[in-house]
Structure 1
Amino acid sequence: MRPHRVAITGIGVISPYGGDARDFFERLLAGESAVRHLRVTQDLPRPLSHPFVGCAGFDPEAALGKPLALMMERFAQLGVAAAFQAWAQAGLPRQATDTEGAEREAWGCIWGTALGGLEAHERGGRDLWIRGRERVSPLSVVQGMNNAVNAHISIQLGLGGVSTSHTAACASSSIAIGEAFRRVRSGEATVMVTGGSDVCQSYSVLRAWDAMRVMAPGDADTAPAACRPFAADRAGLVLGEGGAALVLEAWDHAVARGATIHGEIVGYGTSCDHSHLVRPHRQGQVRALRAALADAGLAPAEVGYVNAHGTATPEGDPVEVAALCEVFGDGAAELPVSATKSMHGHLLGAAGAIEAVITVLALREQAIPPTAHLAGRIDPACEGVDHVLQGRRQVPLRAALSNSFAFGGSNAVLAFRAPPL
């Protein structure tokens, strides 16, 4: 059977910039950093101070209603709110109509998260062992389960098909999107909601990452420029929180109902480094990049932009550039590359989803956001590609890639095409 083309008909983002996906993208095009200084105490004796990216303006009760918001941990609130945004933009009804009832039983949701409801379990631990309480909240299990987001999305939108979550560290939501794409392309589903969400603000999570010595330092004055991917003076990553969602739909189905098509997902490649838990490996990334291009039927020369995984770690950035140089060969020097984590931070399990959204918007708007704080600072070990510096770059784009390279050696690359003119 001929594979189905897969349209993107809905985009949703809950980000530190507030607003919707268009507002989010415009702030990135302007090179505006959302990184701020965070001090965490949580009633514990040793405060933690780090640059962080938070969604302080997000009101879960306004976005979801109070009863639903109270059922969720914050990672789920961010994810479900992003999914509701995407679903509304897609122009699909919240519950099945008479004409689509049976078809909707095959519509589904695949979500990605790395930490999931960890905060619910951490809170329960504090209640039991520090505050001396005899019991934890009866909502602890349903708030803490990693599949809470896809469960709530499926219930609220009446999706009767697959409902599952993927956890693969920083590649979680790219894998979720890729697997949702495969379901629609194969004809197994007509509509899929997919994406990712994570919250990295708990004391234990920040302490754990701090112990690995991979987090960028910074105080209130220096925090906005703390994350500097590919820069010679980069000092580590900046964690954050957020959620992003896409509605994927069989192309013919989208056209038949008159939906606006924001882009097309055309390829998905995965690999495992099978080398080291936390040290990236060039050949593993090369395999994922080549698999995505082959799956999409794209030649390297057709790709006009790569949204890099680019976390600003000393070891990760040069490996990613080396992988791109191997795959794109002589064309790598003219390949526009940017690492938007320099502005929105590293959202762990949500990173792939939010960067997929950025890549789709870059194709739709024919504009590439920069790697912030990089001008004049490129590490010689990260040269070889065309780094996008200082503000938007307006260029004709037909295809682009989004990279996610995770701890555990899990690699995922998504390939997209621009929407029809």
Structure 2
Amino acid sequence: MRRVAITGAGMVSPGGLSVAESWRAVRDGRWLLAPASAGQEETAGLMVAEIRDLDPERHFDRRQLVALDPVAQYAVIAAREAVAMAGIALGDIAPERTRCIIGSGTGGERTHDEASRRVYGDKGQRLHPMTVPRIMQSGAASHVALDQAIRGGVYAVSSACASAAHALGQAFADIRAGIADVALAGGSEACLSHSCIRGWQALHILSDDGCRPFSLGRRGLVLGEGAAIFVLEAYDQAVARGADILAELVGFGMSSDAGSITAPHADGMARAMRGALADARLSADAVDHVNAHGTGTQANDATECAALALVFGDRLGRIPVTANKSVLGHALGASGAFELAMAIMSLREEVLSPTAHFQTADPACPVDCIPNAARDAAVSTILSNSFAFGGLNAALVVRRV
């Protein structure tokens, strides 16, 4: 079983158009929320974490943009940053030794929303000929592969809010097993269409006053968007070519609750975390920090804390636990990649990002959530959680090199 290095990371988020910009926003606990530009009177008062300063024509020519839904735009831009950081030319690697695996919960949602409005609202007779390629779930992975000349295995993973973590876990497994040498993996989401916001509104879990994970009186989640993509490669290969190794991915675990399509279960979450630790051949005592799923809903936060207690027992109160969604919002299928990127920055910078906008401790969430202010800490091993509708759970373990 080979070791797996992370040698590049790229990110497009409400916090900025790079990993560094996104990290600064998360580290500083910024308020990035505003009414959705896609919103109408039915969603007045709801907040989203939206990417507002991206000019697609600075990154793509107009002929390319015809085929690119925002979900693919975000993924390609993030992948370019990751590849540049890694200093690797994927097109020079034997095709059968490469992978591109991108997770997304909704795919080309903006295109789908516009097509539906045109057909059903405006009674349009024709749609753009690139509508289907823009909508397809594998669009982000396909465009990243085109942009980076990846000719090996390329596909999408869709498991709701665990999509990116599952994509990373699959790439990790392929490299560790010797099936591939290099992979681009992560997640992308562009879900802030009017219809998608209305769909989430119907679940009665969207907040109108910000995202406050683990805080008493929290009112729900805030939708976000963007992409985070990583270069994963065989550790020995990375060392041999003199790469700057950002971190080592050492464990992946997943589970299914098989209980409810929407209600979380602590046992299932705990099994994913224990699976990731077992895969890494680490005990729970080795974990210094947890990057939580931490959506800010009543049910998810309390259930995740119960699951953490099952894994860490009496030690839980001494492990700092952060929720990046308090700043970046919930980017659905991309959220696990967002949080892995922030975990890597915590390892690199020796700073733990806060759970921002925290107000009052909730007895149902007895964790040290690093409230409101970042904390210096030289941690070496971080557990990152992703939990999804359908009871689909995933956890990643990343370690300082």
Q: Which residue of 2 aligns with 1:380?
A: 363
Q: Please give the residue correspondences for 1:265-304 in structure 2 after superposition, counting only pairs within 5 Å.
A: 265-304=249-288
Please tell me whether the aligned partners of residues 174 and 404 of structure 1 are also in contact (alpha carbons under 8 angstroms).
yes
Q: Which residue of 1 aligns with 2:28?
A: 30
1:341 and 1:216 mapped to 2: Cα distance?
12
User: Cα 1:347–1:322, aligned 2, differ >3 Å: closer, same or farther?
Assistant: same
Aligned partner of 1:337: which letter?
V
Could you tell me which runs of 5 or more consecutive residues in structure 1 were left unpaired when the two chains were aligned.
219-225
For residues 162-208 of structure 1, what are the alpha-carbon distances to aligned partners after superposition, in whole Å with 9 as ceiling and x for unaligned? 10111111001100001110011111110000011111211111111
1:195 and 1:122 mapped to 2: Cα distance?
24
Aligned residues with identical type, % of pairs: 40
Please tell me whether the aligned partners of residues 76 and 147 of structure 2 are also in contact (alpha carbons under 8 angstroms).
no
Please tell me whether the aligned partners of residues 40 and 49 of structure 1 are also in contact (alpha carbons under 8 angstroms).
no
Quote how far apart the aligned CAs of 1:70 are. Answer: 2.6
Q: Please give the residue correspondences for 1:179-328 in structure 2 after superposition, counting only pairs within 5 Å.
A: 179-218=170-209, 226-328=210-312
Quote how far apart the aligned CAs of 1:41 are. Answer: 4.9
User: Please, which of 391, 397, 400 is the counterpart of residue 379 of structure 2?
Assistant: 397
Please tell me whether the aligned partners of residues 72 and 143 of structure 1 are also in contact (alpha carbons under 8 angstroms).
yes
Quote how far apart the aligned CAs of 1:48 are. Answer: 4.2
Please tell me whether the aligned partners of residues 270 and 308 of structure 2 are also in contact (alpha carbons under 8 angstroms).
yes
User: Please, which of 135, 140, 162 is the counterpart of residue 171 of structure 1?
Assistant: 162
Q: Which residue of 2 aligns with 1:88?
A: 84
1:129 and 1:29 mapped to 2: Cα distance?
44
2:43 and 2:286 mapped to 1: Cα distance?
49
Quote how far apart the aligned CAs of 1:17 are. Answer: 2.2
Quote how far apart the aligned CAs of 1:392 are. Answer: 1.4
For residues 375-411 of structure 1, what are the alpha-carbon distances to aligned partners after superposition, in whole Å with 9 as ceiling and x for unaligned? 5x0111101x222122211111110011001000000
Q: Please give the residue correspondences for 1:116-195 in structure 2 after superposition, counting only pairs within 5 Å.
A: 116-195=107-186
2:83 and 2:217 mapped to 1: Cα distance?
41
Corresponding residue pairs, total? 401
Q: Secondary structure at the match of 1:404?
A: strand
1:19 and 1:209 mapped to 2: Cα distance?
26
Please tell me whether the aligned partners of residues 71 and 189 of structure 2 are also in contact (alpha carbons under 8 angstroms).
yes
TM-score where L is the length of structure 1: 0.92
Please tell me whether the aligned partners of residues 113 and 194 of structure 2 are also in contact (alpha carbons under 8 angstroms).
no
User: Please, which of 8, 11, 33 is the counterpart of residue 10 of structure 1?
Assistant: 8
For residues 111-134 of structure 1, what are the alpha-carbon distances to aligned partners after superposition, in whole Å with 9 as ceiling and x for unaligned? 100010122222122212221221
Q: Which residue of 2 aligns with 1:76?
A: 72
Q: Secondary structure at the match of 2:254?
A: strand
1:47 and 1:269 mapped to 2: Cα distance?
37
Quote how far apart the aligned CAs of 1:255 are. Answer: 1.0
TM-align CA RMSD: 1.4
User: Cα 1:273–1:200, aligned 2, differ >3 Å: closer, same or farther?
Assistant: same
Q: Which residue of 2 aligns with 1:222?
A: none
The answer to whether 1:64 aligns with 2:60 is yes
2:162 and 2:202 mapped to 1: Cα distance?
22
For residues 69-127 of structure 1, what are the alpha-carbon distances to aligned partners after superposition, in whole Å with 9 as ceiling and x for unaligned? 3311011111111111101111112632xxx4xx2432110110001012222212221
Please tell me whether the aligned partners of residues 36 and 192 of structure 2 are also in contact (alpha carbons under 8 angstroms).
no
User: Cα 1:41–1:360, aligned 2, differ >3 Å: closer, same or farther?
Assistant: closer
1:135 and 1:205 mapped to 2: Cα distance?
23
Could you tell me which runs of 5 or more consecutive residues in structure 2 were left unpaired when the two chains were aligned.
none
1:39 and 1:85 mapped to 2: Cα distance?
27
1:49 and 1:374 mapped to 2: Cα distance?
20
2:383 and 2:289 mapped to 1: Cα distance?
6
Higher mean C-alpha deviation, range 196-205 or range 125-134: 125-134
Higher mean C-alpha deviation, range 262-271 or range 122-131: 122-131
